[in-house]
Structure 1
Amino acid sequence: MVTEAGIIGKIGLNELGVGVCLNAIKVPGCDTTRMPVHLALRLVLESSSSDHAVQELEKVGLAASAHLLVADKEKAFGLESTAKTIMLITADERGQIFHANHLLLDHEGSVDAGWLVDSPCRQRRIQELATRYDVSTDREPGMRDVTCMLDDHDGFPYSICRYEEGPLGMDATLFSIVMELRGTKATVYLGRPCKPEETIFLDL
């Protein structure tokens, strides 16, 4: 997994081909009776399948707002949560799920703080880029294709590949990870994918 020092659960995959990604979302509230987000990420990494991980997380709920993309070699789910709710996002007709840093679903009683103004722009752009591929044909995207999507600069400074420049003045891309769960492998680009400081290959 890729994580900060001292945090035991974050973005990554396990030897069974179960992977998880995280989108931070800023919705007020915290419920200490529910599972902290980073422990939920660890739970996924200790799961034998995406079904098992999602079932466990739906039972306990998450203590705060976040989106977890949970996948294995066969299927993927999105889990969008607030401190009070947890809702499932299933793959679209192309077998794809997209999420940025704002709520996509209607959570009762919750108000999205609109934390990153470029989040809807990035959401639309990644969906636009993915329309070039269709998992029902031979043009299913490979790891290089996904890397190119993450390295997209369209609409700068509101681009998928983010810089510490422009009106936002914060939150540059710190790393990108592209997983191939059927082969239990991943490539990690430290820094922006257009100019990585280091490239790490994971093969389980």
Structure 2
Amino acid sequence: MSFSHFPKKLVLKGTPKEIGFEHGNLLSSEIKDQMKIYNAMFQSTSSLTWTEVHEIAKEFQVTIQKLTPDIYDEMVGIAEGAGVDILDIIALNCRSEIALGRFTDGCTSLGWKMQGKDVEGKMVLAQNWDWTENVQKNLAMVEIERKGNEKIWMVTEAGIVGKIGFNSAGVGVCLNAIRARPTHTYELPIHIALRICLESDSVEKAVGSIEELGGVASSQHILIADPNRTLSMELSPVGNCFLEPCDDGFVAHTNHFIKNELVSEPFWLKGSPVRLERANILVSELIKDMRNGLQINNDIGHILRERLFSDTFNAPQAICCQEDPECPKETRNSTLFNIVMRLEAGNSTAEVLFGKPGVTNGEVLKMPWV
């Protein structure tokens, strides 16, 4: 039994620059550690030095500043607060794109508009986030409040402006990495796209904003939901595909495209199709039990952690991911946190367990926190 990591909790308010500066100041040591971790990973996966990473970051700098100036200002603030170069912060936020699809974040996500007595219409968005354990100590829970914008709560890596979470309108996002080419530096990095979603007041607005800005720079999957609907977005620089929930109201996703055949996607994570099939089976079994009288009440987070996200079938590439000793040390994945969001306009909440469901003995943290 392992013990849960307790992250820093940040409350950030003000202008984009002020929000960024406070982020950088409070997470300065974590940001510098992230730079060391990703420097090693870039060298291992892509044979890129940090100087070469900066050269690629310069291309993304032009794109971010042009398309999303407020988010760029926040990144400038992070750099100033942490005492690092703006290109360091851009590199962290574009890490998936700079590595040309060679980073192998895992993750299993679920969007579910529940059906049945007492739960009819309730929206749940959840995932296990799998990545290298070196990053776990640099995760943070962040609350962002900017006048005129939706309030945001998310779990993120130090220095990164958009990740996994929800906002005051009840819009939530999960992320699944996809390894595919091409990558375009003139389009939005995925972590910027996640932030755009978190600044939107509906699924439709989020989709429209991303498309209006020209799409995303790399192939990725965002599972998005609001209180009314959930949508699986298979995004790529050459075109997007969307998957609606099944008749039982849910859609699950892992780390390969199901519908989007527009990109060159090597078969890189053999456990991904197995996890997807397993997730569909486990959620279907849960729905069957609910129809036979299983009471959910307010325990959906506990039930999903117990019945879905702790599953170790096909380990190490399981839904609850374990480190694979056959992989390079820098990119060995394991589940670093689980999040279960319940999305309601003005009253959304999330439960977060840092560590592995079913293995980690630790407190389940809440967002918003008191």
Structure 1-normalised TM-score? Answer: 0.90
Match of 2:220 in 1: 66
Q: Which has the larger radius of gyration?
A: 2
5+ unaligned residues in a row in structure 1: which ranges? none
Cα-to-partner distance string for 1:80-110 (whole Å, 9 max, x where unaligned): 02221111111111111111001111423x2
Distance in 2, Cα, partners of 1:50 & 1:70: 7
Distance in 2, Cα, partners of 1:128 & 1:167: 28
Match of 1:193 in 2: 357
Contact 2:324 2:333 in 1 (8 A): no
Match of 1:162 in 2: 321
Q: Deviation of residue 167 (structure 1)?
A: 4.7
Matches within 5 A, 1:144-155: 144-148=302-306, 149-155=308-314
Contact 1:31 1:84 in 2 (8 A): no
Distance in 1, Cα, partners of 2:157 & 2:202: 25
Distance in 2, Cα, partners of 1:90 & 1:56: 19
Distance in 2, Cα, partners of 1:6 & 1:166: 29
Match of 1:3 in 2: 156
- Matched position secondary structure for 1:105: coil
* Structure whose residues are more often helix by fraction: 2
Structure 2 vs 1, CA of residues 56 and 85 (structure 1 numbering), >3 Å: closer, same or farther? same
Distance in 1, Cα, partners of 2:357 & 2:179: 25
Contact 1:191 1:198 in 2 (8 A): no
Residue identity opposite 1:163 in structure 2: Q
Residue identity opposite 2:313 in structure 1: D
Contact 2:184 2:237 in 1 (8 A): yes
Give the length in aligned residue pairs: 203
Distance in 2, Cα, partners of 1:165 & 1:31: 31
**CA RMSD across the alignment:** 2.2
Distance in 1, Cα, partners of 2:301 & 2:258: 26
Which stretch shows the higher mean deviation, 135-144 or 99-108? 135-144
**1:202 and 2:364 correspond:** no
- Matched position secondary structure for 1:132: helix
Matches within 5 A, 1:165-184: 165=324, 167=326, 170-182=332-344, 183-184=347-348
**1:41 and 2:194 correspond:** yes
Contact 2:185 2:217 in 1 (8 A): yes
Distance in 1, Cα, partners of 2:155 & 2:226: 18
Structure 2 vs 1, CA of residues 57 and 190 (structure 1 numbering), >3 Å: closer, same or farther? same
Paired residue for 1:128, among 281, 293, 299?
281
**1:115 and 2:268 correspond:** yes
- Matched position secondary structure for 1:3: strand
Distance in 2, Cα, partners of 1:49 & 1:56: 11
Distance in 1, Cα, partners of 2:334 & 2:357: 11
Cα-to-partner distance string for 1:1-46 (whole Å, 9 max, x where unaligned): 1111110001101112110000000002212232211111001111
Match of 1:50 in 2: 203
Match of 1:80 in 2: 234
Cα-to-partner distance string for 1:46-94 (whole Å, 9 max, x where unaligned): 1111121122223321110100001011101111022211111111111
**1:21 and 2:174 correspond:** yes
- Matched position secondary structure for 1:73: coil
Distance in 2, Cα, partners of 1:58 & 1:90: 18
Which stretch shows the higher mean deviation, 141-150 or 84-93? 141-150
5+ unaligned residues in a row in structure 2: which ranges? 1-153
- Percent identical pairs in the alignment equals 34
Cα-to-partner distance string for 1:98-123 (whole Å, 9 max, x where unaligned): 11001111423x22122211111101
Point out which structure has higher relative CO (alpha carbons under 8 A, 6+ apart). Answer: 2
Residue identity opposite 1:4 in structure 2: E
Residue identity opposite 1:97 in structure 2: V
Structure 2 vs 1, CA of residues 49 and 106 (structure 1 numbering), >3 Å: closer, same or farther? closer
